[in-house]
């Protein structure tokens, strides 16, 4: 499988840095063949991202620098990915399962045409071809899918693949992005999220602490923040906490939010509705602190505490600090 | 102005959702079937615009089993004008590509200025169909909008992205998809429910739309389905003043801190 090229779209942040999903995408691509990265960035911002893609295992990078990334939705990235697929004859195309990745995948699937494997948690290659693994219905089932024929397009769940490809010295080829081939929405503005978080990304963090409506207020939600920071973990929330304004949308864990891939998940003041469980029940160890002994979260918790989070968590933090400080 | 809203019937996530481990198909008998909440928000966006507009017509469109008809009737009561139900045994287990082909053909037949969909289904979780439709229909897409403004000639809105929020706009016709940050769907009143009974509801097959479900084009197929072992409860303690310390020790013992 010498020349089995796997085209991998790597989104970049407004400052030109690669988004955190890059390492997992290239790791997954490496399982199928030779990772070929596609990077679309504003003029002057692509080279650093291309070099970073090499450290994550890209063998080749197609780089398109165009001011259109800031003014036209999807089309520049779509054209770049389509050009890379054309140039490499790729058997598979990987994009992150985020809004931009899905838009590229959807249009490309119709254009090629090609089958799409949605929300994949893993990919492998066997004698018959590429096989995609999914975790569906809130982790209640695992499934395997494959395309009948043709190129395979995969939207990969962020944080799901731990495998990393070996660093490479990529050849970087510049792509001229043609004018959008079809009608596209215009990007009329961008407002930066100023309080960029220093915490690990919720999707891929090894430890996640989430707060629910039980924390009672935005001030109360700070309890979850303190514990997350003490543990160096990501911060999540239930939909009720997001709806109540304790936490931003992007923190939502569950069926209509993020699916975490954590080793440790700690739920504070969260009842454990099925839709919440859908995003966290595959965590390796689940800890729940809830005042209500009947809360459904206890049915899936490895360690459950019936109690007030405002009593338990401060004591937990004190004890963790003691341990870190060399106490027993 | 004609707005087509893509509504979908899904297994109720409050119940137990099952997949048939032999066929890989959703086990439709296993749980109640309800309108996917996100598509009810899409309907809300359409009817609230229609409430304030001169001549806006709202058409509900779904592809799904026979049972979806009662979902359409219920949803018409929110204030939509008519519904189109694509129901065909040949479409059972349709993948995204076939679903997009069918729905695009239906939308072309119905005619539209704006298509409103949910961002991601609660069962298939693809989040791809709206953009696939935009590509098939040759129009712009504005997906995963947290807010949307509709006018007679254009649609605009905001969506979350890495590091911030982008504002988008496009001339109509266009396809948009909305997130659960959009307003809650209204509860239909008595008048709405009564008038829904008489609203036009058309049922179509794949053949009516000129779609061949067996065509030899690339499809996604399911090779296997396995039920994940159910999670069980572990240790449960009641806090008597020491639970925080106990938890710290538990985490340390399991090398999680
Ligand atoms: C289509 C659909 C999609 C959904 N998607 C999601 C999703 O993605 N994510 C999600 O989370 N939800 C989702 N939901 C909502 C879900 O059904 C629940 O409503 C939600 O998860 C409840 O959040 P909660 O546990 O914070 O609030 P509640 O259910 O109100 O629970 C609060 C808990 O806090 C406990 N408590 C109160 N005070 C304290 C205290 N001082 N210390 C400790 N415990 C305390 C209470 O005993 C209670 O158990 C969805 C619903 C639908 C219909
Ligand atoms: C567990 C599971 C996994 C699946 N995985 C795959 C896969 O990997 N690849 C694949 O090709 N297919 C897959 N399918 C099939 C796929 O779900 C269906 O083709 C479905 O019709 C559309 O995909 P979606 O539900 O993911 O839609 P999404 O793209 O998530 O839907 C977004 C919006 O599109 C509209 N919409 C979606 N479906 C319909 C409909 N039937 N009628 C009207 N409006 C609709 C709604 O407004 C919805 O909110 C899977 C199905 C299941 C149940």
CATH for A128: 3.40.50.620
- pLDDT digit string (tens) for A23-37? 999 999 999 999 999
For residue A305, give the chain B residue with the closest CA: B237
A16 and A121 together in one domain: yes
What pLDDT, on a 0 to 100 scale, did the predictor assign at position A1?
Answer: 41
Q: What is the pLDDT of residue B105?
A: 98
Mutate to test the interface with B, among A13, A99, A132, A253 (most CBs of B within 10 A): A99
Residue B215's SS3 state is coil
pLDDT of residue A327: 53
Residue A227 lies in a domain: yes
- For residue A274, the domain's CATH number is 3.40.50.1220
CATH of region B2-209, choose from 3.40.50.720, 3.40.630.10, 3.40.50.620, 3.40.50.300: 3.40.50.620
Which residue, chain included where needed, has tokens 């291309």? A50
Give the total number of structural domains in chain A. 2
Q: Was A213 annotated as part of a binding site? A: yes
The answer to whether residue A188 sits within a structural domain is: no
- In a domain, residue A304? The reply is yes
Q: Which domain holds residue A299?
A: 207-325
Please state the rounded mean pLDDT for residues A63-88. Answer: 95
> Can you spell out the DSSP letters for A182-207?
S---EEEEEEE-SS---SPPTTT-SE
Both tokens of B97, joined, read 């590509």
To test the contact with chain B by mutation, choose from A104, A201, A284, A303 the residue with the greatest count of B C-beta atoms within 10 A, namely: A303
Q: Cα of A198 to ligand 1 centre, how many Å? A: 26
**Ligand closest to CA A295:** 1
CB atoms within 10 A of CB A67: 10
**pLDDT reported for residue B122:** 95
Contact A24, A201 (CB under 8 A): no
pLDDT, tens digit (0-9, with 9 covering 90-100), for A101-148: 999 999 999 999 999 999 999 999 988 889 999 999 999 999 999 999
Whether the CB of A146 sits within 6 Å of ligand 2: no
Peptide bond into A269 cis (omega under 30): no
End-to-end alpha carbon distance in chain A: 54
Q: What is the pLDDT along chain B (257 residues), one digit of tens a residue?
A: 999 999 999 999 888 889 988 888 888 778 889 999 999 999 999 999 999 998 999 999 999 999 999 999 999 999 999 999 999 999 999 999 999 999 999 999 999 999 999 999 999 999 999 999 999 999 999 999 999 999 999 999 999 998 889 999 999 999 999 999 999 999 999 999 999 999 999 999 999 999 999 999 999 999 999 999 989 999 999 999 999 999 999 999 999 99
Structural domain includes residue A181: no
Q: What is the tens place of the pLDDT at every residue in A133-144?
A: 999 999 999 999
Residues A40 and A103 in one domain: yes
This prediction's pTM: 0.96
Task: Name the packing angle between helices A218-231 and A309-324 (round to 10°).
Answer: 20
Residue B16: the pLDDT is 84
Alpha-carbon dihedral A252, A258, A259, A262, rounded to 10 degrees:
-70
User: Do A147 and B220 meet the contact criterion of CB atoms below 8 Å apart?
Assistant: yes
Nearest CA to ligand 1 atom 53: B37
CA distance B146 to B40: 15
pLDDT bracket for residue A326 (50, 70, 90): low
Q: Answer whether residue A198 is part of any domain.
A: no
| Confidence class for position A2, pLDDT limits 50, 70, 90 | very low
Is the CB–ligand 2 distance for residue A116 below 6 Å? Answer: yes
Chain B: nearest CA to A115, how far in angstroms?
Answer: 5
C-alpha distance from residue A43 to each of A47, A66, A240 (Å): 10, 5, 41
Q: Is A313 on the interface with B (CB under 8 A)?
A: yes
Residues of A in contact with B13 (CB under 8 A): 138, 255, 274-275, 278
Whether residues A229 and A321 fall in one domain: yes
DSSP 3-state assignment of B137? helix
Mean per-residue pLDDT of chain B: 96
Ligand in nearest proximity to the CA of B12 = 1
Cis ω on the peptide bond leading into residue B173 (within 30° of 0)?
A: yes
């Amino acid at each position: 499988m010498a020349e089995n090229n796997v085209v991998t779209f790597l989104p970049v942040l407004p400052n030109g840095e690669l988004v955190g999903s890059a390492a997992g995408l290239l790791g997954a691509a490496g399982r199928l063949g030779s990772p070929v990265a596609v990077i679309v960035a504003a003029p002057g911002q692509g080279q650093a991202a291309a070099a970073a893609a090499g450290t994550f295992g890209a063998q080749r990078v197609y780089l398109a620098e165009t001011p259109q990334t800031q003014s036209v939705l999807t089309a520049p990235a779509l054209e770049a990915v389509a050009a890379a697929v054309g140039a490499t004859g790729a058997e598979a195309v990987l994009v992150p399962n985020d809004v931009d990745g899905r838009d590229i995948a959807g249009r490309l699937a119709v254009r090629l045409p090609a089958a799409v494997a949605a929300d994949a948690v893993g990919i492998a290659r066997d004698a018959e071809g590429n096989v995609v693994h999914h975790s569906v219905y809130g982790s209640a089932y695992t499934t395997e899918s494959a395309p009948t024929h043709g190129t395979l397009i995969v939207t990969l769940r962020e944080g799901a693949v731990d495998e990393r490809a070996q660093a490479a010295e990529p050849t970087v080829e510049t792509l001229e992005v043609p004018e959008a081939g079809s009608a596209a929405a215009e990007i009329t503005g961008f407002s930066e999220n100023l309080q960029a978080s220093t915490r690990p990304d919720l999707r891929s963090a090894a430890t996640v602490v989430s707060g629910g409506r039980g924390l009672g207020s935005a001030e109360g939600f700070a309890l979850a923040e303190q514990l997350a920071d003490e543990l160096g973990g990501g911060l999540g929330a239930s939909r009720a906490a997001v709806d109540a304004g304790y936490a931003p949308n992007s923190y939502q864990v569950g069926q209509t939010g993020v699916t975490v891939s954590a080793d440790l998940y700690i739920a504070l003041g969260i009842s454990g509705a099925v839709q919440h469980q859908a995003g966290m029940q595959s965590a390796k160890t689940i800890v729940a602190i809830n005042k209500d002994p009947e809360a459904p979260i206890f049915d899936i918790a490895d360690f459950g505490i019936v109690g007030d989070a405002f009593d338990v968590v401060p004591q937990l933090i004190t004890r963790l600090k003691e341990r870190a400080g060399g106490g027993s | 102005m004609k707005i087509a809203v893509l509504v979908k019937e899904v297994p109720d996530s409050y119940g137990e959702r099952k997949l048939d481990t032999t066929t890989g198909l959703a086990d439709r008998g296993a749980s109640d079937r309800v309108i996917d909440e996100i598509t009810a928000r899409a309907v809300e966006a359409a009817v609230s615009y229609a409430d304030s507009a001169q001549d806006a017509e709202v058409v509900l469109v779904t592809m799904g089993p026979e049972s979806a008809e009662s979902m359409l009737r219920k949803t018409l009561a929110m204030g939509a004008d008519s519904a189109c139900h694509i129901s065909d045994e040949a479409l059972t287990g349709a993948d995204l590509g076939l679903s997009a082909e069918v729905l695009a053909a239906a939308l072309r037949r119905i005619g539209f200025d704006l298509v409103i969909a949910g961002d991601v289904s609660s069962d298939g979780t693809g989040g791809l169909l709206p953009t696939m439709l935009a590509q098939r229909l040759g129009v712009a897409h504005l997906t995963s909008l947290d807010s949307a403004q509709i006018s007679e000639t254009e649609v605009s809105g905001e969506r979350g992205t890495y590091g911030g929020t982008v504002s988008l706009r496009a001339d109509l016709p266009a396809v948009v998809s909305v997130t659960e940050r959009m307003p809650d769907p209204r509860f239909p009143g008595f008048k709405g429910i009564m008038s829904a009974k008489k609203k036009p509801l058309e049922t179509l097959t794949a053949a009516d739309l000129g779609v061949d479900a067996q065509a030899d084009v690339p499809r996604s197929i399911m090779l296997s389905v396995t039920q994940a072992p159910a999670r069980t409860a572990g240790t449960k303690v009641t806090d008597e003043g020491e639970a925080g310390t106990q938890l710290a020790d538990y985490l340390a013992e399991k090398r999680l801190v």
